[in-house]
Amino acid sequence: MSQPAPGQANVLWFLPTHGESRYLGTSIGARAVDLKYLKQVAQAADDLGYYGVLLPTGRSCEDSWVIASALAPFTEQLKFLIAARPGLMSVTVAARMAATLDRISNGRLLINVVTGGDPIENKGDGLFFSHSERYEVTREFLDVFKKLLAGETVNYSGKHIKIEDGRVLFPPVQSNGLPLYFGGSSDAGIDVATDTVDKYLTWGEPPALVAEKVERVRKAALAKGRDISFGIRLHVIVRETSEGAWKAADELISHVSDETIAKAQEIFSRMDSVGQQRMIALHGGRRDKLEVSPNLWAGVGLVRGGAGTALVGDPETVAARIKHYIDIGIDTFILSGYPHLEEAYRFAELVFPLLPLAHQKAGHTARVNTGPFGETIANDILPDVRKQASQS
């Protein structure tokens, strides 16, 4: 798995396969999330130079494998971070699916290992394991999964998984193995991560908490003779001024009722995910304590599970906060914003030039009307080439 150079970062975007809106917690400002719209978001991310896109998983989402397969032919460089679900997927079938998708996308598949943190949803999918048992299954799944994709014939007899003569006949394009991403804040999750995966993911906690977690996971990995890298999952609300960004944050939750927040927090409280519990603790379901760290806003987490914080501010401020996380040891940023199409453009145009990216957008060399130079003035004059106001 290739890693960014020290001090650089990969930035991924997000495909909103579970719904999209200009306002959270309401149908106001909602838009249809069909294949045509997802194609727009994916192609925008590809053209803007994002490293990849994350596709979420769960019963509230369109299936990530099917959507990625549909979008791969319409993108060129964009990588797809797809969820593998130990306990819900046969490990040999998952390995074959992964190898196939990697081949048809020409080596653009990333694997996000998701154990699942909602016992009610898990039972709806036929998964009745306890929290600790889910991580046992995950460990066995990854052991077999990696061997299969390495071309081994697998005979395996574990506590939860048994395989005889398991094989993947058609290998993936990525000869060094498919990059494995994984998030888990519990002791069991960290133990599995430091044994098996390439990149450990955390949700967007304040820098001090992220630094503490990074140090803990890094020490555990080193004790096992392994090196592990780190990523973070955040939302972003970027405008050309700080005032504009905070106004947009307030507007995003302006239609959320107290009743909706209470119902959402009740659902989150039933989950046995330690990461989700840490997200809830940042705001406690209260509207008056949402800036949990400078420019880190927890308003999204009032009604959205999983990633519940956003970096809010003008381009220079948001870039500075991201660089702080890079200094902590984060080299991968999985971002999103509402609506996802528009915010993908805002972030790339306003913040990409201020970041030490490990990936770069291919530049245009031909002098044709592909820009970026703006609209032709009076049908005759090209606008002056000037830097963004935010960079001056």
The separation between CA 369 and the C-alpha centre of its own chain, rounded to angstroms, equals 33
More confident position, 32 or 372 = 32
Does pTM surpass 0.85? yes
Q: What dihedral do alpha carbons 132, 135, 136, 142 form, nearest 10°?
A: 180
pLDDT at position 379 over 70: no
Pair 314, 241: CB distance under 8 Å = yes
> Which range is most confident: 27-31, 99-103, 191-195?
99-103
Report the alpha-carbon distance of residue 206 to residue 241 in Å, rounded: 22
Report the alpha-carbon distance of residue 88 to residue 62 in Å, rounded: 16
Pair 14, 339: CB distance under 8 Å = no
| Axis crossing angle, helix 258-269 with helix 274-283, rounded to the nearest 10 | 150
Pair 4, 332: CB distance under 8 Å = yes
Q: How confident is the model at residue 391 (pLDDT cuts 50, 70, 90)?
A: very low
Phi, psi of 283 (to 5 degrees): -130, -20
Report the alpha-carbon distance of residue 154 to residue 82 in Å, rounded: 24
Cβ contacts of 167 within 8 Å, gap of 6 or more: 92, 148, 153, 154
Pair 293, 194: CB distance under 8 Å = no
SS3 162: strand
Q: What is the pLDDT of residues 170-184, one digit of tens each?
A: 999 998 889 999 988
Phi, psi of 238 (to 5 degrees): -115, 130
Strands 79-84 and 30-31, bridge-based pairing: unpaired
Report the alpha-carbon distance of residue 203 to residue 305 in Å, rounded: 11
Q: What dihedral do alpha carbons 140, 141, 147, 150 form, nearest 10°?
A: -150
Q: What is the 8-class DSSP label of residue 227?
A: -
Q: How confident is the model at residue 366 (pLDDT cuts 50, 70, 90)?
A: very low
CATH dotted code for 10-363+370-391? 3.20.20.30
CA distances from 81 to 53, 97, 162 (A): 6, 14, 27
**Residue 318: what residue type?**
V
Report the alpha-carbon distance of residue 56 to residue 74 in Å, rounded: 19
What's the token pair of residue 289? 């304590």
Q: How confident is the model at residue 280 (pLDDT cuts 50, 70, 90)?
A: confident
What's the token pair of residue 6? 């020290």
CA distances from 68 to 17, 115, 156, 343 (A): 11, 20, 30, 21
Report the range of poorest mean pLDDT among 160-164, 332-336, 368-372: 368-372
What's the 3-state SS for 247-275? Answer: HHHHHHCCCCCHHHHHHHHHHHHCCCCHH
SS3 240: coil
pLDDT at position 365 over 50: no
